[in-house]
Structure 1
Amino acid sequence: MTVETTRIDGIATPVSRIGLGTWAIGGWMWGGADDTASIATIRNAIDQGINLIDTAPVYGFGHAEEVVGKALEGRREQAVIATKVALEWGDDGIKRNSTPARIRTEIEDSLRRLRTDRIDLYQVHWPDPRVPFEETAAELEKLRQEGKILAIGVSNFSPEQMDVFGRAARLAAVQPPYNLFERAIEADVLPYAKSHGLTVLAYGALCRGLLSGRMSASTRFDGDDLRNHDPKFQPPRFAQYLAAVGALAQLSHDRHGKSVLALAIRWILDQGPTIALWGARRPDQLRGIDDAFGWRLSPGDLADIDALLARHITSPVGPEFMAPPLR
């Protein structure tokens, strides 16, 4: 398999254009996880040339970072680690906190859990309007100058927020939700990234598994799985999205001999300076990664994809339900 790579400003290592997302590996909001399987998944991704591992402290309240650290022991230099900062949790839930004091606490916690002396890409998880963005950015810039992080990113930020943030730190990447079904960034964040030289890490690339092609009307979700609360997975929308997946699968098979999953990832890679984050917690969930590389969608494909989405999804909805509250 020839893995497509890109560059993130500040990181010398070429970065795979598919990254492993580890939210489910943390267990929280995904019905639990098996650490042995998770470690095998991370190592399998590395073996396939997928060197970007994207995680966050809030994924399992430290657990995902701990699992990543265990999986990469002895293999740290084969990976590009991206993690996040500025969410805190307690008895009253999860809240945004991007104060310099919180950042200083979190960087040490993340370095310890990840068993590393540096984080390659450090991203502010959600904008915290109660702290001036320049103040947050300046603290991250200090960490970069100290060598604790190599590159700075933001997640879920608007172009206006990135403009302010960028006055105090060299911004290298932005991580928004982006997939065939959730495309709001095409109006603002994506063109901003293209014009400012930012790499886009698209999270939710398979839209919480909808675009995997493995779901049906009878699919059910266990325990605290967030899809029990995701509007896309509730009637009548679930049927609409499943119908769209079926039509996409037919198009992909007929024109390219590819799965709908490969089509969904290829579509993201064809949109610009993008990396698709592929969430997995078992090695078998990485099957088909190689099918996303080495081909492109034509302008006709893209137009027909847009038409079939408009035909099947009559009441689209975005990922807004995932946003954590302000302090």
Structure 2
Amino acid sequence: MEYRKLGDSDLNLSVITYGSFAIGGTMWGGTEKKEAQEAVRASLDHGVTTLDTAPFYGFGLSEKLIGETIGGMDRSKIQILTKFGMVWDGSNNGKGDFMFDIENEGKIYPIYKFASKANVIKEAEESLKRLGTDYIDLLQLHWFDSTTPVDETMEALQLLIDQGKIRAAGVSNYNNEQMLEAQKSIRLASNQLPYSMLKREIESEVIPAAIKNNVGIIAYSPLERGLLTGKFFKGDTLKSSDHRNGYFAQFDLEKVKSLLERIEPIAQDKGVSLSQLVLRWTTLQPGITAVLAGATNKEQAISNAQATQISLSKKELNFIDDQLAN
């Protein structure tokens, strides 16, 4: 495993970071608790030290599973990254930016982006309890909330740092303009953004600015929620409640299938899986600090962790870039 410093914080993250959206179950067709916890343990056993979660993932379930799994472990050797600002419990009283309605266990919940000072403190305390810890290594605003002044949100994060409840503050899904505004109030360690072979928009402006300002970039959905593993082109099916039935529709699937067929020989030559090759490529892109890789069982977790063992030559990287340009 490789480890990288996150921005100018004192956090060192494992380049492959365990992403726990799927084990929350909501939007993913459910979860199996035993397998999910085995996946977390297997990640930790194979060099992954960083776990990324959020209250929204399973309406607290993802955080609870992680908290239960790491209970009794040496907390100083694990970095817990979580978020706030996607409210489902109605505590915002209709305030904030409405996102969408979501069904969970037969009930419809309206989801809001909401990042008031009071809500930041509330969510942080709830996350600490679910995770069974007295501090969070990185607390991230999940989405920009246009209804709350940026400095109010950042003031709350700074207060949590001063209180020792979080070690560093970050954001997610922020553009450069939003980053500049936030940085007037606090020194942010990171920005978590979608980035993959199929989504490279942040390379033009966001990544150069992050490099210049020493802000870490945490890439999420590097496998495009499983699409870039190739298994859905080989007969794998999804449950009807799995959000990926709609998510994959944004891509030209024939083009994706062709891309994977063209780069798969590199994986075969190295004796690795397509998903490992894709993850390794992502970790080697400029400005990327860590790459989130989800796993719902220990086999997936071990495979993800071992991706950093792959060596890619300049020639191989250039070949992959050429294929991506087609």
Query: Do they fold alike, i.e. is TM over 0.5?
Result: yes
CA contact (8 A) 1:232 1:241 kept: no
Selected match of 1:260 from 257, 274, 281: 274
CA distance in 2, matches of 1:192, 1:46: 32
CA shift, 1:101, in A, is 1.2
Selected match of 1:239 from 239, 247, 254: 254
Is the partner of 1:15 in helix, strand or coil? strand
Selected match of 1:138 from 155, 172, 178: 155
CA shift, 1:290, in A, is 4.9
CA shift, 1:295, in A, is 4.9
User: What corresponds to 2:68 in structure 1?
Assistant: 70
AA in 2 matched with 1:270: L
* Residue 224, structure 1, aligned to residue 222, structure 2: no
* Residue 4, structure 1, aligned to residue 2, structure 2: yes
Is the partner of 1:108 in helix, strand or coil? helix
User: What corresponds to 2:284 in structure 1?
Assistant: 270
For the aligned residues, what is the CA RMSD? 1.9
CA distance in 1, matches of 2:8, 2:128: 19
* Structure 2 segments unaligned to the other structure (5+ residues): 91-107
Q: Deviations over 1:148-196 (max 9, x none)?
A: 1000110000011011101111100110001111111101221111111
User: What corresponds to 1:18 in structure 2?
Assistant: 16
User: What corresponds to 2:56 in structure 1?
Assistant: 58
CA contact (8 A) 1:174 1:199 kept: yes
* Structure 1 segments unaligned to the other structure (5+ residues): 312-327
CA distance in 2, matches of 1:137, 1:291: 36
CA shift, 1:142, in A, is 0.7
Is the partner of 2:194 in helix, strand or coil? coil
* Residue 284, structure 1, aligned to residue 282, structure 2: no
CA shift, 1:9, in A, is 4.9
CA contact (8 A) 1:217 1:239 kept: no
CA contact (8 A) 1:203 1:276 kept: yes
Is the partner of 1:67 in helix, strand or coil? helix
CA contact (8 A) 1:258 1:291 kept: no
* Residue 308, structure 1, aligned to residue 306, structure 2: no
CA contact (8 A) 2:43 2:305 kept: no
Identity of aligned residues (%): 35
CA distance in 1, matches of 2:19, 2:33: 15
CA shift, 1:224, in A, is 1.8
- Aligned pairs, number: 306
CA distance in 2, matches of 1:233, 1:210: 11
Selected match of 1:46 from 38, 44, 47: 44
* Residue 125, structure 1, aligned to residue 123, structure 2: no
User: What corresponds to 1:315 in structure 2?
Assistant: none
Higher alpha-carbon deviation: 123-132 or 69-78: 69-78
* Residue 31, structure 1, aligned to residue 45, structure 2: no
User: What corresponds to 2:103 in structure 1?
Assistant: none
User: What corresponds to 2:105 in structure 1?
Assistant: none
Is the partner of 2:171 in helix, strand or coil? strand
CA contact (8 A) 1:85 1:106 kept: yes
CA contact (8 A) 2:8 2:214 kept: no
CA shift, 1:118, in A, is 0.5
CA contact (8 A) 1:205 1:268 kept: yes
Selected match of 2:128 from 107, 111, 123: 111
Q: Deviations over 1:25-50 (max 9, x none)?
A: 10001111011111111111111110
User: What corresponds to 1:250 in structure 2?
Assistant: 265
AA in 1 matched with 2:187: R
CA shift, 1:122, in A, is 0.3
Is the partner of 2:232 in helix, strand or coil? coil
CA contact (8 A) 1:53 1:82 kept: yes
Q: Deviations over 1:205-233 (max 9, x none)?
A: 11111222323253321032111111447
CA distance in 1, matches of 2:261, 2:151: 46
CA distance in 2, matches of 1:84, 1:44: 23
Q: Deviations over 1:108-144 (max 9, x none)?
A: 1101100000000000000111112121111101110
- What's the TM-score once normalised by structure 1's chain length? 0.88
CA contact (8 A) 1:210 1:242 kept: no
CA distance in 2, matches of 1:13, 1:157: 21
CA shift, 1:286, in A, is 1.8
